A and B are shown apart, each in its own frame.
Chain A
Amino acid sequence: MRGALWVCERDIRKFLRQPFVMVSALVGPFLTLILLGYAFGGSITHVPVAVVSYSEGRYSSAYLDIVKQEQNCAFGGASCGDAFRLRDFPDLESAERMLREGQVKAIIYIPSGFDSTLISSNSVVFTIYLDNTDPLSASAVYGGLSRAAQQLSAQIQLLSGRGESLTVDQANFYRNVLYIEFMAPGSLVQAIFIASIIGGGVSILIDKQRGIFEGYLVTPLKQYEIVVGVLLAGVVKALFSSMTMLFMAIIIAGVRPMTDATGFLLMLFTIFLAGLGLISMMTAFAVRVPAPEVYQFTAFPINMVLYFTSGAIYPIDGFPDWMRSIAVVNPEAYAVHALRLLMYKGASLTAVLGDFAFLAVFTSVMVGLATVAFRRRL
């Protein structure tokens, strides 16, 4: 039995020589704790909601005031914020367009007879339109607007002693989107990133370590030819990887995208843009790291930060401010946003133009960076 002690001693001795290996391996789980904890632990605030009001009555404005003051708190009240950010629209049509483009998450529609009906009848039902392609935001919005309605009823009862009740009815704008479907675009983007970790500049890194790379350097291939070639191969791999993911999501996970041919082409373009950008970013990094281990230990944490702050698993509106500011510059957030619009809302090019613009800028900068970072000589 004493032999077990010596075996244990050997392992512990070796562990003590390089404890940082375990510490760096802990970066992943720790990031998961922080990012996932804050993402899911936050409450959804500042949700953009469109208001289309044809009523100028007392009660309708009272209702909107209550909605405006609605607060959402998280972390035991440590972090609170306005639940909604209201934007007025003159008619339902323009509000609907904003909802389709993902600019607002819901529409509060107050018809012209709102006040008079509320006074004359005992019970009033009014409708809010919800963007249910984001099920978490939709249920939070519905909860908040219902609470506001109850509060208004209570106020009216107090003032008049009568028993009117105001109920909110929800009208779903799209077919019910399951949470797993909500998550699917994030997985497509993560598939791109995985391809960019193992498919882009890392081939240069591995070739360098194996010494194969010197073979390239003595050929008359130009600097940009080598870089662009590696990036293009990476993009092909990223397209393959995300299409495989999409296929599996549809066949196995039961994801049902509602996309026409144009939408699918726009999806491919989104993946191409995001893929090229992310691959260039990782290539710029890979061609300058001193050792493959450094790349390996860094690539996966980068993947986690980008994925968890992209809004792939939880709406960005629910993030604390520091995470939201990462999301603003996170290319994956724009890719996820565009893919979600294209997959479940049948969105047109105009709806995703903003996302494309950001991705195009990001990708151009990263391709440039990768080309400059790459060294033509050893």
Chain B
Amino acid sequence: MDAAVQSVDLTKRFGDFAAVNKINLEIGSGEIFGLLGPNGAGKTTLVRVLTTVLEPTEGTAKVVGYDIRRNANKVRESIGVVSQAITLDVELSAWENMELYAKYYGVPNGLRHERIKALLDVVGLAERADFTVGSFSGGMKRRLELVRSLIHRPKILFLDEPTTGLDPQARYAVWDYLRKIHKDQGITVVITTHYLDEAEALCGRVAIVDFGKLVALGAPLDLKRKVMGGDVVEAEISIMSDEALTALQDSDFVLEVKKRESLLTVLVKSGAEAVPRIVELVGAKGGKLRSITLREPTLDDVFLNVTGRSIREDTAVTRKRFVSTWGAMRR
């Protein structure tokens, strides 16, 4: 099977800063592939390079078999792109927006009308076709952009944070349409996101990106199993002593302990056994827990594991000890 995207040492520098740093990536045809990482990780730059908006500094990539440096226009003809910012003309109607892009992409006159109608139908905008886009809600705009990028039947669809800024209902709607389009058209989808649930809900495979580098790659479930190798216990603390913390860290059933304000996160080999033992141990050392829950590890835990930071934290806080022990455990 041909790769939809194949990059070799792909690098994009802005001055000294490498926003994309020697990324080697292969995305298969028909995948829904997620690029996951915090803000500023380089996801958008990577997508911009792959969609020929930016020229790579080093390395190159093939998209649908065409080189992004030498055959940029061939690449452009074969891909659909929904960029992070809304790129619709708000002064024009939904239909006009569709029509102009159909012309840009050289969709033949005879096919244009039918195709626009069908696509607007897919995202439930057929009745709003003649309304100016300025009157649309954020979710409607996203849906319109989604189908506008499909007007020329591209082989790959690139979406850069397609649900950022949308309310949950609008997000789920976008997900549904995306799944439907993927299923009906068998199109390859490359999506960047900093939402963990989005990556888990949509993507067959995920690449975790941090500081312009690829730090983990695989199916969400595999990543969680392989990287974490255990369960996560979360406890809310009322009283906690340093002694209790040290005791937990030294216990053989505990892989790692992290305390953030009143939240205690403990990675353990087996959750069912660990919960009573944690309660007992903390109690014995003079601590007190308000609640305790056992949960599956998330992609955030994976991210935390490989980068030392939470994807949800905007500021990069490095937890040295945490990283070193978990790093050691991984080996």
Q: How large is the interface on B (under 10, 10 to 19, 20 to 34, 35 or more residues)?
A: 20 to 34
Q: How far is the CA of A216 from the CA of B83 in the complex (A)?
A: 11
- Indicate with 1 or 0, residue by residue over A194-234, a CB within 8 angstroms of chain B CB atoms: 00000000000000001111111111111000000000000
Chain A proximity of B294: nearest CB distance (Å): 44
Q: For the complex, would chain A's binding face be called helix, strand, loop or mixed by DSSP majority?
A: loop
Most central of A216, A217, A378 by chain B CB within 10 Å: A217
Decide if A221 touches B85 in the complex (CB within 8 Å): no
Decide if B54 touches A219 in the complex (CB within 8 Å): no
| A377: Cβ under 8 A from any B Cβ | yes
Contacts of B106 in A (CB 8 A): 220
Decide if A211 touches B104 in the complex (CB within 8 Å): no
Decide if B85 touches A210 in the complex (CB within 8 Å): yes
Decide if A218 touches B105 in the complex (CB within 8 Å): no
| B52: Cβ under 8 A from any A Cβ | yes
Q: In the complex, how many residues of chain A place their beta carbon closer than 8 angstroms to a beta carbon of chain B?
A: 15
Contacts of A210 in B (CB 8 A): 85
Decide if A211 touches B54 in the complex (CB within 8 Å): no
How many A-B residue contacts, CB cutoff 8 Å? 50
Out of A213, A221, A378, name the residue touching B104 (CB < 8 Å). Answer: A221
Chain B proximity of A93: nearest CB distance (Å): 57
Contacts of A220 in B (CB 8 A): 73, 76-77, 104-106
Chain A proximity of B233: nearest CB distance (Å): 43
Out of B77, B83, B104, name the residue touching A214 (CB < 8 Å). Answer: B83
Contacts of B79 in A (CB 8 A): 218
Decide if A222 touches B73 in the complex (CB within 8 Å): yes
Decide if A218 touches B89 in the complex (CB within 8 Å): no
Q: Given A211-B87, A378-B48, does the pair A218, B54 have CB atoms closer than 8 Å?
A: no
- Indicate with 1 or 0, residue by residue over B62-87, a CB within 8 angstroms of chain A CB atoms: 00000000000100110101011111
Chain A proximity of B145: nearest CB distance (Å): 9
Chain B proximity of A212: nearest CB distance (Å): 5
Contacts of B81 in A (CB 8 A): 214, 218
Decide if B52 touches A377 in the complex (CB within 8 Å): yes
Q: For the complex, would chain B's binding face be called helix, strand, loop or mixed by DSSP majority?
A: loop
Decide if B83 touches A218 in the complex (CB within 8 Å): yes
Q: Given A377-B55, A378-B53, does the pair A218, B85 have CB atoms closer than 8 Å?
A: no
Q: How far is the CA of A217 from the CA of B85 in the complex (A)?
A: 13
Q: How far is the CA of A217 from the CA of B77 in the complex (A)?
A: 11
Decide if B76 touches A212 in the complex (CB within 8 Å): no
Contacts of A377 in B (CB 8 A): 52-55
Decide if B53 touches A217 in the complex (CB within 8 Å): yes
Chain B proximity of A121: nearest CB distance (Å): 77
Decide if A219 touches B87 in the complex (CB within 8 Å): no
Decide if B87 touches A212 in the complex (CB within 8 Å): yes
Interface hits, A349-377 → B, CB 8 Å:
377
Decide if A214 touches B55 in the complex (CB within 8 Å): no
Q: How far is the CA of A221 from the CA of B104 in the complex (A)?
A: 6
| B51: Cβ under 8 A from any A Cβ | yes
Closest to A217 in B: B53
Q: How far is the CA of A211 from the CA of B84 in the complex (A)?
A: 9
| B88: Cβ under 8 A from any A Cβ | yes
Decide if A219 touches B104 in the complex (CB within 8 Å): yes
Q: Given A220-B73, A220-B105, A378-B48, does the pair A215, B53 have CB atoms closer than 8 Å?
A: no
Chain B interface residues toward A at CB < 8 A? 48, 51-55, 73, 76-77, 79, 81, 83-89, 101, 104-106
Q: Can you list 21 A-B contacts with CB-CB less than 8 angstroms, sorted by A residue number?
A: A211-B86, A212-B85, A212-B87, A212-B89, A213-B87, A214-B53, A214-B81, A214-B83, A214-B85, A217-B52, A218-B53, A218-B79, A219-B104, A219-B105, A220-B73, A220-B76, A220-B77, A221-B104, A377-B54, A378-B48, A378-B53
